[in-house]
Amino acid sequence: MSAPAPGLRRVEASRDGVRINAFVGGEGPPVLLLHGYPQTSTMWHRVAPELVAAGHTVVLADLRGYGDSDKPGDTAGHEPYGKRVMAADQVSLMESLGFARFAVVGHDRGARVAHRMALDAPERVLSVAVLDVVPTLHMFENVDRTMASDYFHWFFLSLPSDLPERLILADPLTWLRSRFAGRHAGGSAIDAAAMAEYERCFDAGTVRASCADYRAAAGIDLVHDRLDREQGRRVEVPLLALWGARSYVGRNFDVARVWRTYARQVDAVSVHADHYLAEEAPDAVAHALTSFWQHIRTPEPGESR
């Protein structure tokens, strides 16, 4: 495997026997970047250099089940791919790198991991940015015909049998490429080197693990989310909701309003992009992130704002 961007070094950490692959570079306040489906840490290849140039240490990690991280077997309750477990992997990774507190940025599946991390480990998370999602619980409680059509993969991948795995593995590259073409973000948005990396990593292990990820989202994750709601738990750290104006999420939800029911302090920014905004509009994404961090940063004693 090669680093997603120049100047990054490969690292790895293990928790409960599951190895997490990551890349690290830069100097300054640490930022953990988490990818979505069906991607890997490579998806940040256009954003990471801008964050490094802005004075940050970046950590680009592969979620368990994806990229070059381990892909443990699933269980009947799908706990190994619950967002609570996936978030704990990443907290452990950051701790192994010496980062007790950090900002986290997640896109798609990574945003759902970041959301859970902000709830479960607020003492570790300085801020959270969620790219092109609304919370999982809100999605499942607001299913309509448009979602069933545009987001059919949520329901397909979470089927309780092994049917999704069997069908995808019959022609995995066609399925993989459809995830980009179907969002109108293929071609120029995903460059050839990045697509080659996604194709390399989309093996049988990833297919099975990613189905487990979606099954967990439709099961154990909802259990945790409903319990949070019953107990009145919300994200306490500053949260940036960032989405593509042309994406399904941007066209069908009041993203800012939804997140303000799940988090106490929400900044909201829309960029001119579809779903894969970190690759479609990297400059806008990097600008939104650095502006958010500057806005929430606590000045040092005697420092003017």
Q: Which domains does the chain have, with CATH numbers?
A: 9-296 (3.40.50.1820)
Radius of gyration of the chain (CA): 18
Q: At what angle do helices 83-96 and 204-217 cross, to 10 degrees?
A: 120
The number of beta carbons lying within 10 Å of the beta carbon of residue 26 is 20
Handedness of CA 175, 177, 180, 183 (dihedral sign): negative
* Angle, vertex CA 247, rays to CA 295 and CA 118, nearest 5: 45
Handedness of CA 169, 275, 288, 240 (dihedral sign): negative
Question: Which of helix, strand or coil describes residue 98?
Answer: coil
- Residue 123's identity, in one-letter code, is E
C-beta of residue 20 within 8 angstroms of C-beta of residue 89: yes
**Tens place of pLDDT for every residue, the chain, 305 residues?**
688 888 999 999 999 999 999 999 999 999 999 999 999 999 999 999 999 999 999 999 999 999 999 999 999 999 999 999 999 999 999 999 999 999 999 999 999 999 999 999 999 999 999 999 999 999 999 999 999 999 999 999 999 999 999 999 999 999 999 999 855 544 457 999 999 999 999 999 999 999 999 999 999 999 999 999 999 999 999 999 999 999 999 999 999 999 999 999 999 999 999 999 999 999 999 999 999 999 886 544 443 33
What pLDDT is attached to residue 188? 56
Phi-psi region of 50 (alpha: psi -120 to 50; beta: other; left: phi over 0): alpha
Whether 78 is catalytic: no
Question: For 110, what's the count of Cα atoms within 13 Å in the CB-facing half-sphere?
Answer: 31
What pLDDT is attached to residue 184? 52
With tokens 């104006």, the residue in question is 245
Rounded Cα–Cα distance for residues 61 and 58 (Å): 10
Active-site entry in 74, 89, 108, 274: 108
With tokens 């791919």, the residue in question is 81
What pLDDT is attached to residue 186? 43
- Residue 237's identity, in one-letter code, is V
What pLDDT is attached to residue 295? 87
User: Looking at the whole model, is its pTM more than 0.85?
Assistant: yes
- Write the CA distances from 261 to 195, 226, 229, 236, 281, integer angstroms: 36, 13, 10, 12, 27
Q: Is the peptide bond before 122 cis (omega within 30 degrees of 0)?
A: no
Q: Are strands 18-25 and 57-61 parallel, antiparallel or unpaired?
A: antiparallel
With tokens 């399904």, the residue in question is 248
Rounded Cα–Cα distance for residues 231 and 103 (Å): 25
Whether 62 is catalytic: no
Active-site entry in 45, 78, 224, 275: 275
